[in-house]
């Protein structure tokens, strides 16, 4: 994994599929399209994929059909522009340490621990809590410049 890889957080994935999110949907789709066009290399954790699957099926105003979710997940797993990061029990322990040290919610700390283990130093998210991680570059694609 290179330092040029950016992890795409769950909220960005969800916005790309949530037509009710307006401009955020357009921005998220454009961002993901960069990967499909080989203009960027992105990472997601297995946690991001699981969260995405649940949210777009159960929590958005217009749920995404199961087939569409599976198709997207399979495409991410097959396409070499996406790096799917897994974690193990040691990562969970590291996440607890990060949570305690930096005051993150556990699930965000697990994303950070997974990123740390895979040398990914940037995240694309609208979640400002990630700014508490000193070594992490946080990119909010929705922030007005």
Burial 34-55 (b: 16+ CB within 10 A, else e): ebeeeebbbbbbebbbebbbeb
pLDDT in tens, 83-134: 999 999 999 999 999 999 999 999 999 999 999 999 999 999 999 999 999 9
Which residue's entry shows tokens 């991001």? 48
pTM of the model as a whole:
0.94
Instruction: Kindly list the structural domains of the chain, giving each domain's residue range(s) and its CATH number in brackets, ordered by start.
Output: 6-137 (3.40.50.1010)
- Sign of torsion, CA 128 117 83 100? negative
Q: What angle do CA 121, 9, 7 make, to 5 degrees?
A: 30
Report the C-alpha gap between 103 and 96 in whole angstroms.
10
pLDDT in tens, 28-46: 999 999 999 999 999 999 9
């Amino acid at each position: 994994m290179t330092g040029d890889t950016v992890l795409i957080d769950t909220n960005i994935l969800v916005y790309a599929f949530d037509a009710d999110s307006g401009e955020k949907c357009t921005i998220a789709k454009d961002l993901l399209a960069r990967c499909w066009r080989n203009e960027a290399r992105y990472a997601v954790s297995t946690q991001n994929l699981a969260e995405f699957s649940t949210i777009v099926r159960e929590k958005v105003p217009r749920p995404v059909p199961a087939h569409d979710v599976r198709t997207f997940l399979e495409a991410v797993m097959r396409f070499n522009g996406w790096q799917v990061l897994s974690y193990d029990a040691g990562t969970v322990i590291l996440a607890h340490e990060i949570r305690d040290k930096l005051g993150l919610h556990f699930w965000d700390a697990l994303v950070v621990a997974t990123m740390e283990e895979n040398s990914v130093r940037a995240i694309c998210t609208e979640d400002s809590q990630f700014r508490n991680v000193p070594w992490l570059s946080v990119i909010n694609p929705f922030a007005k410049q």
